[in-house]
Structure 1
Amino acid sequence: MRILIANDDGYLAPGLAALVKACEGLGQIDVIAPEQNASGTSNALTLSRPLSVFTAANGYRYVNGTPSDCVHVALTGLLDYRPDLVISGINNGANMGDDTLYSGTVAAATEGFLFGIPSIAFSQVEKGWVELEAAAQAARAIIEQVLAGGLGHAFLLNVNMPNRPDAATLPRRITRLGRRHASEAVIRQTNPRGETIYWIGPAGDAREAGEGTDFHATANGMVSITPLQVDLSDHAGMPAWRQRLGLPT
């Protein structure tokens, strides 16, 4: 078993170290992560400048780019083998609902999936790394279950774990993505030179968080496991658009 591990919080993040430790004994592990925190970078690839790869004292390799850069570079030239599994995390905070579109953690796993490799993204629901060891144990248990079922085809799983000491033994549920209200307003400030600057505002509250969603599962003390796909086509809306634009069916 050959496993590639990445994240979006950077190669020094406690969540990455915890996930790597949790995966010990499963096979060969390579860590290739961003040099700095790259949260919110989604699936961005760096095309405007060359990328550099460095090796840290602990053997992790890190890239001066995005999470997707890390996995892309690893799979297209840095590694001399094809991993059997790509894992991303453990993220410092939830990646649920609409947040998955922005998430660098999910993006790193998605890049593996786009290359046809089974991939899993792991996140803790609350920020602060509270009960991180328990989350790592939960991640290990899920990985072992996945491996027991075989890796016959590519899949993409998004896992969110409550910050609880019993995270490894909590019930697990297959969920769908919930939805959030629109993000709150930007925060306007003035820098020391008198120029107006803006900070992206906080994410909106959950607005679709009913039973079956990732929000509902984690709020009720369960680990949420959401199978994802990358096909954004509005299949249900296609007939209406053909009619509206006068196109053949």
Structure 2
Amino acid sequence: MTNDDGIDSPGLAMLADVAAGAGLDVVVAAPDRQYSGASAAVTAVQEQGRTVTEERPTLAGAPAHAVRAAPAHIVVLALGGWLDPPPELVLSGINRGANVGRAILHSGTVGAALTAGQFGARGLAVSLDVPLGGTEPEHWDAVREHVGTVLPLLRDAAAGSTYSLNVPDRPADEHRELRTAPLDAEGTVRTLVEESGVDGVLLREVGTDRPAEPGADRALLAAGHPTLTALGGLREVTPPALPVGAAR
């Protein structure tokens, strides 16, 4: 189990509790700090060639490790021999903020789950739709029921399967039914250049102003539906026709 909000995130503690309650044998290994936007980067802080790790107090009774690395790097470690036996499932989250639309390309939460799939494990990214700049208490416990529904699907899925679950940030009794959903063309936020000069570039995150696509994940989530999207990893598409005489 990992995330991109860091090992002290309340979402990680909740997900560990849900997984342990479902009878899974849980090991927590998460970044020691915020790694949002890390995508599937495998960067890490190393000393004498070793990725730096630190044991932490248990989460939901599970052993916990703070790792000075991006979440996808942690997944590579876990599946590459650090954990014995290597995990069959990689749960990533619960992210503070939705991961919807094609913008999930940049998400460290989703990147960890996709990396698990690339290595032949099964990955699940879980996100709570906390609004940008939100100040109200988050409804982490509202995720519990939906993760419980999705976990059996994940365990029965083919090796390499990757799912993304998004949950409305409202009490569970206000949720509508769980829906499968395609990706919207955009996410919930976008990044703009606020200032630029000789000292560098200042970026600012703002909510997207493009209408959500009906039936896609962003629209369904805004309407109160938890959404589940099956994701595919990197793969080829049909190449363009080469001009006559092009190098072979």
Q: Give me the TM-score of the superposition, normalised by structure 2.
A: 0.83
Q: For residues 237 and 244 of structure 2, what CA distance do their matches in structure 1 show?
A: 15
Higher strand share: 2
- Alignment correspondent of 1:186: 193
User: Does structure 2 retain, via aligned residues, the 8 Å contact 1:180–1:206?
Assistant: no
1:9 aligns with 2:8: no
SS in 2 for 1:231: coil
Q: Could you tell me which of 111, 117, 120 is aligned with 1:116?
A: 120
- Alignment correspondent of 1:54: 54
The alignment's C-alpha RMSD in Å is 2.7
Query: Counterpart amino acid of 2:223?
Result: N
**Between Structure 1 and Structure 2, how many residues are aligned?**
234
- Alignment correspondent of 1:39: 36
User: 1:122-160: per-residue Cα shift (whole Å, max 9, x none)?
Assistant: 00112456111112332223214444xx24432110111
Deviates more, 1:167-176 or 1:52-61: 167-176
Q: For residues 234 and 157 of structure 2, what CA distance do their matches in structure 1 show?
A: 21
User: Does structure 2 retain, via aligned residues, the 8 Å contact 1:141–1:168?
Assistant: no
Query: Counterpart amino acid of 1:133?
Result: D
Q: For residues 78 and 180 of structure 2, what CA distance do their matches in structure 1 show?
A: 30
- Alignment correspondent of 2:92: 88
User: 1:36-92: per-residue Cα shift (whole Å, max 9, x none)?
Assistant: 010001111127844111110223112101001111111112101021211100000
- Alignment correspondent of 2:141: 133
Q: For residues 177 and 203 of structure 1, what CA distance do their matches in structure 2 show?
A: 20
- 1:97-108 to structure 2, matched below 5 A, reads 97-108=101-112
Shift of 1:163: 0.6
Gaps of at least 5 residues in structure 1 are none
- Alignment correspondent of 1:173: 179
Shift of 1:224: 1.1
1:69 aligns with 2:73: yes
Shift of 1:245: 6.5
Q: For residues 205 and 196 of structure 1, what CA distance do their matches in structure 2 show?
A: 27
Shift of 1:8: 0.5
User: Does structure 2 retain, via aligned residues, the 8 Å contact 1:67–1:105?
Assistant: yes
Shift of 1:247: 6.5
1:163 aligns with 2:169: yes
Identity of aligned residues (%): 29
Q: Give me the TM-score of the superposition, normalised by structure 1.
A: 0.83
SS in 2 for 1:11: coil
Q: For residues 89 and 14 of structure 2, what CA distance do their matches in structure 1 show?
A: 17
User: Does structure 1 retain, via aligned residues, the 8 Å contact 2:117–2:159?
Assistant: no
Gaps of at least 5 residues in structure 2 are none
Q: For residues 37 and 6 of structure 1, what CA distance do their matches in structure 2 show?
A: 12
Shift of 1:244: 5.3
User: Does structure 1 retain, via aligned residues, the 8 Å contact 2:32–2:66?
Assistant: yes
Query: Counterpart amino acid of 2:56?
Result: A
